[in-house]
Amino acid sequence: MNRSSQGSNKWRLLVILILAVVVLMLLDLGLGSVRIPIADVAKILVGGAVNNEAWQAIVLKIRLPRTITAVLVGAALSVGGLQMQTLFRNPLAGPSVLGITAGASLGVAAVMLAAGSAITAFTIRSLGIGGSWLIVIAASIGAALVLLAILAISYRIRDNVVMLIVGIMVANITIAIVSIWQFFSNPEQMQEYILWTFGSLGGVTTSQLQVLGLIVSLGVLMTFALSKTLNALLLGEDYAQSMGLNIRKSRFAIIGVTSILAGAITGFCGPIGFVGIAVPHLTRSFLNTSDHRILIPSCVLVGAILMLVCDIISQVPGSNTVLPVNAITAMIGSPIVIWIIVKRRNLKASF
Amino acid sequence: MSLSKTILTSKNLTVGYKNKEVLKELDLNLRKGELTCLLGPNGSGKSTLIRSLAGIQKPLAGEVQIHDKSITEINAKEMAKTLSLVLTDRIAPGNLTVYALVSLGRFPYTSWMGALNDSDKALIQWAMEVTGSLQFADRHIGELSDGERQKVMIARALVQDTEIIVLDEPTAHLDSPNRIEIFHLLQDLTKKTGKTILISTHEIDMAIESCDNMWLVMPDKKVALGLPEELILSGSLEKAFGSEALTFDYLKGKFSKNLEGHDFIIEVIGEPVLVKWTKNAINRIQQHIKSDCQVEVLGTPKDPTWKVSGTDKKFNSLTLLISYLKTT
């Protein structure tokens, strides 16, 4: 296969992925407890009028924010996971590997568990949807604290493997603190907290969505700007340094961007696992490339596709139940990943 | 005739790790357009020295200068345009194409997106031609053999377009034919492009044959400089590698195991090529020889016959001769 045909193959794949995202978005908006035909969904989206006014409200006010959230979550976590896997040259790395998600959990747990039952229940319930801003801020502060600790440590450490282990240990510390708080809380508080840990795509209001959308877009763009750096890091730090890359600055930038992406998602949607680790592998395997200039946009699309599929399933179309998104992503995603990497056998080639 | 210009020097350089000096007080120099070999036994600190010279590891004392400027004063990008590396180990990501990997060498020159212009592409093309890796430009790096992969890594270093290329035991995992090819390639490159190449190795034979200059790691943690032949004749090579068990044969140019005194001599006469290899086989069974004798080799290398003088024993295979000599 010569170079130009390889290139056009990749373009074709990208177009297919974009189409898949659009189709899945329409499906996600159409399926749920009430089934709305796709044609009507499309009409509503472009601002046209439909027979059933309730449908308009359902699509625009309830389902659209959720669908957009799914796309943002898939994009942000996949891109974060990709960077972590490249930086640490480790296929098991994900965006939460440095403890950012654990830090966010620490912030949320501080509000829900440690602040005292009366205050928490009152604050969250009475503020209603707006109360969730409190959770978002708490999660962000927690994540930011862990991020600062990690960045400070990363400045003094040369070796990425050491960095990885430090991140895992920091995550363990925060998890330990949260378990102690859980141990001393009452059942209602624990339930609130556990519900948070299930992850939810539906709890993001439109105003929050704007903030989240902005952060994720900036994060993905900054990652794309780091493509050249990430590609150089594929050869290992020694070669990268010999080519003029400043290892410390690069590590800082990569960890910083990933943490912002992972921290924002966790703050608004709760800790969502699996996507960040699995999607980079799926993407690398399908496109059979390690070039980040292609991988980053592809991970955005594949991540969106995976989250949309999981969201559709978690809404159990036709019924009123909504299953927790974390369970669905792991349950649907894991067999897919196993199938892909066993069949394609090029996982080992990537690391 | 003047000596070529010195490009890289080290002054009183000591390299090693926090608590351990590996090599010390080194005053080295690299001359432009020459292939210099850093030769030393395994574990003697060659990699440490290479890494310190390339600027990826801090020396314990002393300084390294390139064009009379200390490398600590040269910023990373400038350094990247002056010195490129080829390391020993297999690098990880197997699904990079060869072309993509080689083009990574243009890192210090390309824009933030890493886009390649026409002159970049021409250089990549040339580098792959010269290293014989053009034929696998579109294959994935994981599919190549070790020898092919190292050639690709050399192409990558060439594309980085630096005055100096430093290689750290690039032939460590390679078989003989590949090893010879790589050494010849490097020699060729110094002549064709005028680049200065430093290669660290423990392959004594290849180093003696290919290098314009040698840096020899001595047992006292210092490094001796000179032509390979100078270091042999002065006894430095023997000191560096020899031991109680090994001695250097100055005529043959090889190290060999010390043999216990042989009391009995076997003389071999005949066609030179046959004599050499018959002697080689006989040397191996030296301790079994119980008396002097003479072996005559008749015929040509393609159709030899061995005759033991003074007897009527004739053998048409070396195996039979040797088993006979072992038993008498």
Instruction: Please write the tens of the pLDDT for every residue from B107-139.
Output: 999 988 888 899 999 999 999 999 999 998 888
Spell out the alpha helix ranges (H) of chain A: 3-30, 38-45, 53-57, 64-88, 100-109, 117-156, 160-183, 187-197, 206-225, 227-233, 237-242, 247-269, 275-287, 292-314, 325-344, 347-350
Distance from CA of B228 to the nearest CA of A (A): 29
Provide the pLDDT for residue B2.
56
Facing residue for A288 by CB, picked from B55, B95, B113:
B95
Residue A52: Cβ within 10 Å count: 12
Q: In terms of Cα–Cα distance, which of B163, B103, B171 is closest to B137?
A: B103
Q: Considering only CB atoms, which chain A residues are within 8 Å of B101?
A: 235
* Chain A, chain B: beta-carbon pairs less than 8 Å apart: 96
Nearest chain A residue to B75 by CA: give it. Answer: A244
| A3 with B138: Cβ contact below 8 A | yes
Domain total for chain A? 1
DSSP state of B281: H
Are A269 and A69 contacting, i.e. CB atoms less than 8 angstroms apart? Answer: yes
Q: What are phi and psi of B311, to 5 degrees?
A: -135, 175
Provide the pLDDT for residue A130.
47
ipTM: 0.84
CA angle B268, B271, B274 (to 5 degrees): 70
Distance from CA of B89 to the nearest CA of A (A): 10
Nearest chain B residue to A91 by CA: give it. Answer: B93
| A242 with B99: Cβ contact below 8 A | no
Distance from CA of B143 to the nearest CA of A (A): 9
How high is the mean pLDDT in each 10-residue block of chain A (351 residues)? 63 90 89 80 78 78 90 96 90 84 87 65 53 76 85 79 84 89 85 85 86 94 95 90 90 90 89 89 85 93 94 83 86 79 65 64
* Residue A1 C-beta-side C-alpha neighbours within 13 Å: 12
CATH number, domain containing residue A141: 1.10.3470.10
Q: Considering only CB atoms, which chain A residues are within 8 Å of B76?
A: 241, 244-246
Decide which of 3.30.70.141, 3.30.70.250, 3.40.50.300, 3.30.450.40 is the CATH code for B6-245. Answer: 3.40.50.300
Q: Considering only CB atoms, which chain B residues are within 8 Å of A242?
A: 54-56, 79-80, 83-85
Q: Considering only CB atoms, which chain B residues are within 8 Å of A290?
A: 93, 95-96, 100
Which residue ranges does chain B devote to CATH 3.40.50.300? 6-245
DSSP state of B86: E
Are A299 and A86 contacting, i.e. CB atoms less than 8 angstroms apart? Answer: no
pLDDT in tens, B40-72: 888 888 999 999 998 888 889 999 999 988 988
Q: In terms of Cα–Cα distance, which of B206, B55, B183 is closest to A241?
A: B55
CA A342 → CA A156, A279, B95, distances in Å? 39, 15, 16
Domain interval for residue A208: 3-350
Q: In terms of Cα–Cα distance, which of B148, B100, B138 is closest to A234?
A: B100
pLDDT in tens, A252-301: 899 889 988 998 898 889 889 889 988 998 888 888 888 899 999 999 99
- Spatial CB neighbours of B136, under 8 Å, sequence gap ≥ 6: B98, B143, B144, B148, B152
Are A33 and A315 contacting, i.e. CB atoms less than 8 angstroms apart? Answer: yes
Using a CB–CB cutoff of 8 Å, tell me whether B140 touches chain A. yes
Distance CA A165, CA A169 (A): 6
